Structure 1
């Protein structure tokens, strides 16, 4: 199952995704699917990536030093130079990490990544998150950037995977639904579901069908199920 996911990730990275004006922020849309249920957002993460030219990377690092109070880490190995800057945003509601990886092979561009994550979600956090992600994109990124969003929650009681998929189908107008079960012996991963929502422009195409949503269901203790949802695909462990 993991090999299949990795193959799709490689496909995404090689084909890219065109981003234009979207209808709704991905993270807030995912979180809204839990509203009115007995589920809560337990962890969430948003990752924004973009390649940066060698001419711009020095200016980017100087800008990061000005924006953030401290350089968290700097690492130099045989392949690349890595910089990481951190920031805890307003009363520890969520954290930001800014990473710059500069390859020593001059044929490759630098990679700039911002990771925003937290362990709870409410209207106050949503408001501050939207404000901050807008500021980050305006300050550092272009329309060529790629954005990933994911969250985790727990299903229990009557709220099983079939019911939740129906809920997602209604709330996100989910289409092109494909389900893959894990047949590995003793694996706790139950199944992975793929789908497409027209809410977001960013997508990848597999077998001539667009896809931009992935759900991973994993059995845990007491008959409960850990659910990880990501767009356009999960790039974190589940």
Structure 2
């Protein structure tokens, strides 16, 4: 698995479709497909990544001063600013993270992180409005998006049939199936594939990959399913 993860980390992210008006399509499709399978949605997260100039970051930072809590973390090779909204919301949390590499002070990686613990029509509508407002207010476009969801499944899992209907709903072309024999890994089994229903994609060994599922055993009778597109972020 480690070799494949290394290849994933050196991916080329390709946009398959024009810039979307909203970035919730993948989240909506994956949440709906999992819930239709009877999986219990635990939480979800969408991280949108933008490379912006230092000048643009300064402008955004100034706009965030009054309505966000700001913290600073210094590392050997980078400085990270975190902006957390002062307005709490029962439906959705959102924050910004700005990463300034020591060797690239003129460019800033801005991450917009939106997350929640539930998914329904009310949250869908609020999320749609939120991402439109954030893009408009701070003049950014959510074009590189990493969407991850966690589901809990009770009972003894039989891998052969667990994902059959889920694959069909998502129109996934099955590419790679991996068992993990690395003791330190948190995942027991992983699946990688490609779905034309999803937006971004990763090119690995000249193959399109935009779908990853990982299994993590919580107890003997409960398994956590992590679903990500185009891949599961390491910190999720």
Is the shorter-chain TM-score for this pair beyond 0.5, marking a shared fold? yes
TM-score, structure 1 normalization: 0.84
Helix, strand or coil for the counterpart of 1:219?
Answer: strand
Q: Distance in 1 between matches of 2:185 and 2:203?
A: 28
Selected match of 2:144 from 146, 150, 173: 146
- Does residue 102 (structure 1) correspond to residue 105 (structure 2)? The answer is no
Residue pair 1:102, 1:110 contacting (<8 A) in 2 also: yes
C-alpha contact 2:198 2:229 (8 A) present in aligned 1: no
Residue deviations 1:64-110 (CA, integer Å, cap 9, x gap): 235xx133313456644432211266642121111122334346511
Distance 1:5 1:137, change over 3 A: farther
Unaligned runs of 5+ in 2: none
* TM-score, reference length from structure 2: 0.84
RMSD between aligned residues = 2.7
- Counterparts of 1:34-53 in structure 2, within 5 Å, are 34-53=34-53
Is residue 90 of structure 2 the alignment partner of residue 87 of structure 1?
no
Q: What residue in structure 2 maps to residue 64 of structure 1?
A: 64
Matched positions, count: 232
Change (3 A) 1:105 1:226: same
Corresponding residue number in structure 2 for 1:17: 14
User: Are the counterparts in 1 of residues 153 and 224 from structure 2 also a CA contact under 8 Å?
Assistant: yes
- Structure 1 unaligned residues grouped into runs of 5+: none
Instruction: Output the CA distance in 1 between the equivalents of 2:205 and 2:5.
Output: 15
Query: Does the C-alpha gap of structure 1 residues 127 and 6 become closer, same or farther in structure 2, counting only changes over 3 Å?
Result: farther
**Structure 1 78/42 Cα, relative in aligned 2: closer, same or farther at 3 Å?**
closer
